[in-house]
Structure 1
Amino acid sequence: MLPLNELLLFALAALGLVITPGPNMIYLISRSITQGRRAGLVSLLGVIAGFLVHIFLVSFGLTAVFMAIPMVYALLRWLGVGYLLYLAWDAIKPGATSLFEKQSFAHGPNADQSNWTLFRMGFLTNVLNPKVAVFYVSFFPQFTRPEYGSLLSQTIQLGLTQLVISATVNFLIVLSAARMAHWFKARPAYIRIQKWFMASILTGLAVRMAIDKGK
């Protein structure tokens, strides 16, 4: 197990990183503003599930293998770009209203489908972001030591610590951003603006991911 002082130092570093605006934070803020608190929280659950996948991969050394092969890194990056652009188009395509109307979260079958869609979007947005995997591979080894015991348990401990910090910070951000959603929802004329706002955010994230080629 990691010593408490090392774990606290890592937690402080992780906090500094999570409060720096990135794809996950921007996505959750835009989702909360355009669709409200519930949409933001469901999307956050998807992002958390994505973190769990990254933690599993880095814990068992798979991420290091992926990052060592440039073609795999490039493929993952372009899959992420393509998915973000797909979400942007899905937000503004003709007839795309269900995810942005107030009734999206009405009780019934459509509510469950909307929740699943939001969860899946948050999950894939995080999983297909190669920078998360690069962060884990480059940052975690700075805090793990053979003398502290099993490297696997240390990596999992660091991953769960980062996950809790990220989830807590983003949870507070979603609650704050969701307040703005009430203003939008009280004005039906802004539905079109909501859709284009979300599409612009997603397109911007895609462009940022596409031009950022460094590891």
Structure 2
Amino acid sequence: MIPVDALLLFFAASVALAIAPGPDNIFVLTQSAINGKKSGFIITLGLCTGLLFHISAVALGVAAIFKTSTLAFTILKTVGAAYLLYLAWQAFRAGATDISNAANQKQGGWALYSRGVLMNITNPKVAIFFLSFLPQFADPARGSIPLQIIMLGIVFIIAALIVFSCIAWAASYISHWLNSSKRGQLVINRVAGVVFIGLACRLALSKQ
């Protein structure tokens, strides 16, 4: 069993890491600003569900493949970058009415949730980050390492849920202005498109 003080330290570190600018929280921020806090919360659930994949991979040792196999890493990061470029294309082609009605017309709950899951799973950096971060807080003297990894992963998910939900809640207030400003809708959508392109380039150029 992991001591409470170690779990609290890990939780604090997880919150700090979740707050640091990255693809996930930027994604929640832009989508919450465009579609409102409900969409941001749903995407947050999707992203955190994707974390379960990476946590399981680390617990089973599968993530080590992406750290040692150039081919596996390249394939996954290519898929992830392609998906981000697809999101950028959608953002650039959307008009003002598309944004204001996105939550009801084009972006249902399942679509938003799936988008969050896919974006997280197709980011190999998350797997490698978990592979290097979680084991630091596991100790063979405390028992099963896989069980400790799963426990730490759950704590990380809780931290991510709290941080991303706060981001979604704060960003949603921008949506009231967007819904009354067509120009504002177009601008934020173009900004979202640029962000997606930047994230895609960053992922495509990333190294193991």
Name the TM-score class by shorter chain.
over 0.9
Residue 97 of structure 1 deviates from its aligned partner by: 5.1
Residue 84 of structure 1 deviates from its aligned partner by: 0.2
Equivalent runs, 1:198-209 vs 2, <5 Å? 198-209=192-203
Task: Please give the per-residue CA displacement for 1:61-111, whole angstroms capped at 9, x wherever unaligned.
Answer: 111123221111111111111110011112223xx45994333334xxx47
Contact 2:65 2:72 (C-alpha < 8 Å) held by counterparts = no
Distance 1:164 1:27, change over 3 A: same
Contact 1:87 1:199 (C-alpha < 8 Å) held by counterparts = yes
Pick from 159, 184, 187: which aligns with 2:153? 159
Contact 1:99 1:114 (C-alpha < 8 Å) held by counterparts = no
Q: Percent same amino acid at aligned positions?
A: 35
When the two structures are aligned, how many residues end up with a matched partner?
A: 208
**Structure 2, unaligned stretches of length 5 or more?**
none
Task: Please give the per-residue CA displacement for 1:122-160, whole angstroms capped at 9, x wherever unaligned.
Answer: 111111111111111011121111110111110100000
User: Residue 25 of structure 1 corresponds to which residue in structure 2?
Assistant: 25
Distance in structure 1 (CA, Å) of the matches to 2:101 and 2:22 = 30
User: Residue 211 of structure 1 corresponds to which residue in structure 2?
Assistant: 205
Letter in 1 for 2:136: Q
Distance in structure 2 (CA, Å) of the matches to 1:54 and 1:205 = 19
Distance in structure 2 (CA, Å) of the matches to 1:143 and 1:8 = 11
Contact 2:100 2:185 (C-alpha < 8 Å) held by counterparts = no
User: Residue 126 of structure 2 corresponds to which residue in structure 1?
Assistant: 132
Distance in structure 2 (CA, Å) of the matches to 1:6 and 1:99 = 49
Contact 2:39 2:109 (C-alpha < 8 Å) held by counterparts = yes
Distance in structure 2 (CA, Å) of the matches to 1:183 and 1:97 = 16
User: Residue 54 of structure 1 corresponds to which residue in structure 2?
Assistant: 54
Pick from 171, 186, 201: which aligns with 1:192? 186
Q: Does residue 103 of structure 1 match 2:97?
A: no
Residue 57 of structure 1 deviates from its aligned partner by: 1.3
Letter in 2 for 1:26: I
Distance in structure 1 (CA, Å) of the matches to 2:84 and 2:97 = 16
Distance 1:206 1:177, change over 3 A: same
Q: Does residue 181 of structure 1 match 2:175?
A: yes
Contact 2:96 2:186 (C-alpha < 8 Å) held by counterparts = no
Contact 2:80 2:119 (C-alpha < 8 Å) held by counterparts = yes
Letter in 1 for 2:179: K
Contact 2:34 2:100 (C-alpha < 8 Å) held by counterparts = no
User: Residue 64 of structure 1 corresponds to which residue in structure 2?
Assistant: 64
Distance 1:62 1:185, change over 3 A: same
